[in-house]
Amino acid sequence: MYQASIIGTGSYVPEWVLTNYHLEKMVDTSDQWIIERTGIRERRIASGQETNVTMGAIALERAIKDSGIHVEEIECLVVGTNTTEPVWPSAGGHMAKLLDLQRDLPFFDVQAGCTGFNYALFIAETLVKSGQYRTVAVVGTDKLSSITDYQDRNTCVLFGDGAGAVILRQSEREGIIRSHLGGNAKLRDLLTLSKKSSTGNGYIKMEGRKVYTFAKRAMVQSCLRVLDPSGTADHKELRLLFEQVNKIIPHQANARIIMGAAEELESRLELPDGKAREKMIITIEQYGNNSCASIPLALDLSLRSGKLKRGDLVILVGFGAGLTYAANLIRL
Ligand code: ACO
């Protein structure tokens, strides 16, 4: 069995900044309400020309540059996304074309709500570890603004656009250690698309409170399962495993969900106050929830700012429409 390591990361966000003050003029809300209930101050919104494909391609180009490989070394391209228009052919195909890849290679999209990047990374991990491919590119990209109803204050304050990418390569050293994927289809109606938008794709509709409760529980469960896949460790063993983790990159849906999950971990593992909270990486204040982009974007930004360094043990944990949830345990 081979190992699969992240050898490069990249990200992209659109230039246009939509602040809470802009939103105050669009719906019945306030900067104070949004900050207190979500932790968000601003989010990036794609221009009319930008799509999940164009944003993803820029993030991928940056990840390729960061890794030092040549674009033609990519043997497979896996894209986590929910906002490809039209829905086929896949965003992966469009991206390969934009990057002007000269040879044939497999490419496909993974549609798993905001958990798409975690699922895509797991698929890539499996492809590299099995020896099928040596170099696989993984992209998380979404243009949620295209399915957001800017008259619905329950949702429009949350979402933004962006993309992130990683290059995964067969290696001797430990990289993606393992992943845990989950899903609860009974809860699918909590997060759906209405059929009212002008594009015909519909707008996001959600039962925010119920998604909130699910999200907190699912993130805790997935963090613990990725550390202890057999579920046999007692809480002391789990605590030791957890203490080795340097940082957690959660899906950036709501700062309160993230801190709530951290508090729950502290209570379950009998950790001193703040010990899980200090591990949480939060970028939501500036970027809001940009779905499949949120985790690879936070990963790239954290590596660039020095919050994360090579060798760190990190959990990427997400949840989203489906309802789905997942975590990847990685050594950077
Ligand atoms: N401004 C002002 N008031 C608002 C706003 C707003 N933007 N949105 C809702 N309210 C009101 C509600 O109407 C409600 O009023 P009422 O009591 O008169 O009915 C009140 O605020 C409280 O509403 P709650 O829903 O209980 O507020 P809550 O503290 O739960 O926060 C929120 C709402 C932010 C949506 C929260 O539930 C949440 O983050 N849920 C998870 C959402 C999520 O992560 N979705 C995406 C997952 S998938 C993906 O990432 C694409």
Spacing of C-alpha 53 from chain mean position: 16
Place of tokens 């979402």: 159
Q: Kind of pairing, strands 42-45 and 76-80?
A: unpaired
Q: What is the average per-residue pLDDT within 303-332?
A: 97
Looking at every residue in the chain, the average pLDDT score rounds to 96
Question: Could you tell me the two tokens for 281?
Answer: 């990486």
Indicate if 49 and 23 belong to the same structural domain.
yes
Select from 319, 253, 317 the least CA-distant residue to 328: 317
103-106 contact pairs (CB < 8 A, 24+)? 103/72, 105/74, 105/75, 105/76, 105/77, 106/76, 106/77
Q: Where does the pLDDT of residue 87 fall: very low under 50, low under 70, confident under 90, or very high at 90 and above? A: confident
Q: Is the CB of 253 under 6 A from ligand 1?
A: yes
Domain that holds residue 131: 3-171
Q: What pLDDT score does 235 carry?
A: 87
Residue pair 246/303 in contact by the 8 Å Cβ criterion: no
**CATH number for 78:** 3.40.47.10
pTM over cut 0.85: yes
Same domain, 165 and 222: no
Residues 121 and 256 in one domain: no
Domain boundary among 171, 194, 214: 171
> 228 and 167 share a domain?
no
Quick one: 30 and 132 in the same domain? yes
> Confidence class of residue 323 from pLDDT cuts 50, 70 and 90?
very high
Are 158 and 289 in the same domain? no
**pLDDT per residue over 114-154, tens digit each?**
999 999 999 999 999 999 999 999 999 999 999 999 999 99
- Helix/strand/coil for 192: strand
Other C-beta atoms within 10 Å of 278: how many? Answer: 9
* CA distances for 302 relative to 45, 111, 184, 319, angstroms: 21, 25, 31, 20
d(CA 43, CA 161): 7
- Ligand 1 lined by 154 (C-beta under 6 Å): yes
Instruction: Given the residues 20, 118, 289, 328, select the one marked as catalytic.
Output: 289
Q: Does the pLDDT value for residue 197 go beyond 90?
A: no
User: Is 223 a catalytic site residue?
Assistant: no
The pLDDT tens digits of the residues spanning 218-236 come to 999 999 999 999 999 998 9
* 184 and 277 both lie in a single domain: yes
Do residues 216 and 109 share a domain?
Answer: no
How far is ligand 1, taken at its centre, from the CA of residue 154, in Å? 5
- What is the arithmetic mean of pLDDT over 278-286? 97
pLDDT value of position 98: 93
Domain count, the chain: 2
pLDDT for 156-192, tens place per residue?
Answer: 999 999 999 999 999 999 999 999 999 999 999 999 9
CA-closest residue to ligand 1 atom 39: 254
Q: Output the pLDDT for position 129.
A: 97
pLDDT at 154: 94
Mark whether 195 and 321 lie in a shared domain: yes
- Tell me how far apart the alpha carbons of residues 225 and 292 are, in angstroms, rounded to a whole number: 21
Ligand 1 atom 20 nearest Cα = 154
| Count of alpha carbons within 13 angstroms of residue 74, beta-carbon side | 35
* Ligand 1 atom with the shortest distance to the CA of 142: 51
Tell me if 153 CB under 6 Å of ligand 1.
yes
Whether 99 is in the pocket of ligand 1, judged by its Cβ within 6 Å, is no
Closest ligand 1 atom, residue 157 Cα: 7
Distance 250 CA to ligand 1 centre (A): 19
Tell me, in angstroms, the distance from the centre of ligand 1 to residue 254's CA: 10
Residue 114 is among the residues annotated as catalytic for this protein: yes
Q: In the sheet that 324-331 helps form, which strands lie side by side, from edge to edge? A: 176-183, 324-331, 313-320, 247-250
- Tell me: do 108 and 38 sit in the same domain: yes
310 ligand 1 Cβ < 6 A: no
Of 127, 153, 171, the residue at which a domain comes to its end is 171
The size of the chain, in residues, is 332
Which of 171, 197, 217 terminates a domain? The answer is: 171
83 with 224, same domain?
Answer: no
Q: Does 235 qualify as catalytic in the annotation?
A: no
Residue 37 near ligand 1, beta carbon < 6 Å: yes
Residue 297 is predicted with a pLDDT of: 98
Which listed residue (114, 156, 223, 292) is catalytic?
114
| Same-domain pairing of 164 and 197 | no
Which residue puts its alpha carbon closest to atom 31 of ligand 1?
A: 37
- How many Å apart are CA 282 and CA 288, to the nearest integer? 10
pLDDT band at 264 (very low <50, low <70, confident <90, very high): very high
Give the residue whose CA is nearest to atom 42 of ligand 1: 208
Helix (H/G/I), strand (E/B), else coil: 139:
strand
